[in-house]
Amino acid sequence: MENSSDSPNPEPEGQEEEEKAEKWSDWKWQLKNRIMSVGRLPRPSHTHNVDEKIISRVTDVFPMAVTPYYASLIDWEDENDPIRMQCIPDERELISGRGEMEDPLREESYSPMPSIVHRYPDRVLFLVTMKCSTYCRHCTRKRKVGDRNAEITAQDIRNGIEYIRKHEEVRDVLISGGDPFTLSDQALDRILGAVRAIPHVEVIRIGTRTPVVLPQRITESLVSVLKKYHPLWINTHFNHPREITPESEKALARLADAGIPLGNQTVLLKGVNDSPEILKELFHLLVKNRVRPYYLYHCDYSRGIQHFRTPVCRGIEILEKLIGYTSGFAIPLYVVDVTGGGGKIPLLPNYCIEKSDTGMTLRNFEGNIYHVEQDQEYRVPVSTDAG
């Protein structure tokens, strides 16, 4: 923000404050005033721990953008602040880590055209933009988001809709990017209308980080567009309890009140949220805001995010501390999106100690052992359906 607050004239202060608050809650102002270069970072006197040269070197490779709102959540005194780690460039992004590659999920080989990834039998990922209001340092599509050469064109979107129309097996369309809510209400209305007009599409989903980084964007007018296209589900991307603010709670309430089922995908990030206490607090706050924790992702193998990656077993250890100890619906499924295009593989603590003809030996969350009998006469019913 401009340094206008130390104006010598005390008179219009109340009015100035009011104008400031009005601008602050205007999402277009937030977008226009995104922090995209070192020079625009807020500079409280204690930001000596920001190395401008390093940030410039990193942003030459991976762009930076942070909404003033999201930046205001940073505690600059703390070099390892979880909000800061997610949005301010770090030297370690330039390191190539073990097993990292440009396209670890092999999305490209499942991508018949720039806007479509068709990996699973009955659903597609429909990429409608590569822009985001805030670029996450841990983004899995880091190589593409914010890259002018990878931008999705209007023709790409038309081709995507045509693809979905031709593929009658697609019953679930996941609109993502980039962040779809960087598009205008009119553009979203057109895209959603076109997808909803396809008879075999049962469910539309939107994946967005907007309630986290730009909650002001969830306006009454956006919601009135969205609710025309039910059944519409939204998955958002909260990673830390400090991201739940009065603003984001208001955005979530607007969406939930419009009858939109809300889910959340959290990425397990070293130094940000890799502890059962932090995640439990986050998941409790989410369900209080009518958001169902959906997936907890192991940090994948995209280039430049090694410093965020925990061992795979860390996610299982964390689940072990949640399952049984809190509401089942506050616990997401832990998934590893494996390198090589295998897709998402769910992982659970191992509760099965032994399997035999007579049954199974299981342990419960407290470590007690139980035996479950198995009917030896049981036969799997023969399927009559050709599929």
**Interface ranges with ligand SF4 (CB under 6 A):** 132, 135-136, 139, 141, 145, 177-179, 209
- Tokens representing 2 are 């401009």
Phi and psi at residue 280, to the nearest 5°: -65, -45
C-alpha distances out from residue 92 to 134, 137, 314, 338, Å = 19, 10, 21, 22
| Residue with smaller CB distance to ligand SF4, 132 or 198 | 132
Q: How far apart are CA 250 and CA 28, in angstroms?
A: 18
Q: How far is the CB of 333 from ligand PLP (least distance, A)?
A: 9
> Any catalytic annotation for residue 119?
yes
Q: Which does 307 bind (CB under 5 to 8 A by kind): ligand SF4, ligand PLP, none?
A: none
> Any catalytic annotation for residue 321?
no
Q: How far apart are CA 213 and CA 50, in angstroms?
A: 21
Draw the binding track, 305-344, toward ligand PLP (x: CB under 6 A; -: no contact): ---------------------------------------x
**Do 255 and 220 touch, CB atoms closer than 8 A?**
no
**Catalytic residue (one of 131, 137, 141, 254):** 141
**Catalytic residue (one of 69, 103, 135, 136):** 136
Q: Which does 305 bind (CB under 5 to 8 A by kind): ligand PLP, ligand SF4, none?
A: none
- Name residues whose C-beta falls within 8 Å of residue 5's C-beta, 6 or more positions apart in sequence: 16
| Residue with smaller CB distance to ligand SF4, 179 or 322 | 179
Burial of 29 (0-12, 13-18, 19+ CB in 10 A): middle
| Residue with smaller CB distance to ligand PLP, 133 or 140 | 140
- Residue 163 is a binding residue for ligand PLP (CB under 6 A): no
| Residue with smaller CB distance to ligand SF4, 66 or 279 | 66
Give the strand order in the sheet containing 343-347. 116-120, 123-127, 172-176, 203-207, 232-236, 262-268, 291-298, 333-338, 343-347
> Any catalytic annotation for residue 300?
yes
- Residue 40 is a binding residue for ligand PLP (CB under 6 A): no
**Catalytic residue (one of 110, 120, 163, 294):** 120
Question: Of the ranges 31-39, 61-69, 120-128, 148-156, which one interacts with ligand PLP (CB under 6 A)?
Answer: 120-128
> Any catalytic annotation for residue 51?
no
Helices (H), 150-275: 154-166, 185-196, 210-213, 220-226, 246-257
- Binding residue for ligand PLP (CB under 6 A) from 120, 147, 165, 278? 120
Q: How far apart are CA 123 and CA 378, in angstroms?
A: 34
> Any catalytic annotation for residue 190?
no
- Binding residue for ligand PLP (CB under 6 A) from 74, 117, 225, 286? 117
> Any catalytic annotation for residue 139?
yes
| Residue with smaller CB distance to ligand SF4, 33 or 140 | 140
> Any catalytic annotation for residue 122?
no
Helices (H) and strands (E) in the chain, counts: 12, 12
Cα angle value 115/116/119 (rounded, 5°): 155
DSSP sequence for 334-346: EEEEETTTTEEEE
| Residue with smaller CB distance to ligand PLP, 86 or 265 | 265
Q: How far apart are CA 320 and CA 325, in angstroms?
A: 9
- Tokens representing 344 are 């998402």
| Residue with smaller CB distance to ligand SF4, 35 or 136 | 136
- Is residue 311 classed as helix, strand or coil in its secondary structure? coil
Q: Which does 74 bind (CB under 5 to 8 A by kind): ligand SF4, ligand PLP, none?
A: none
Q: Which does 139 bind (CB under 5 to 8 A by kind): ligand SF4, ligand PLP, none?
A: ligand SF4
What residues make contact with ligand PLP under the rule CB under 6 A? 117, 119-120, 123, 125, 174, 344
Supply the residues annotated as catalytic.
Answer: 119-120, 123, 132, 136, 139, 141, 300, 337, 344
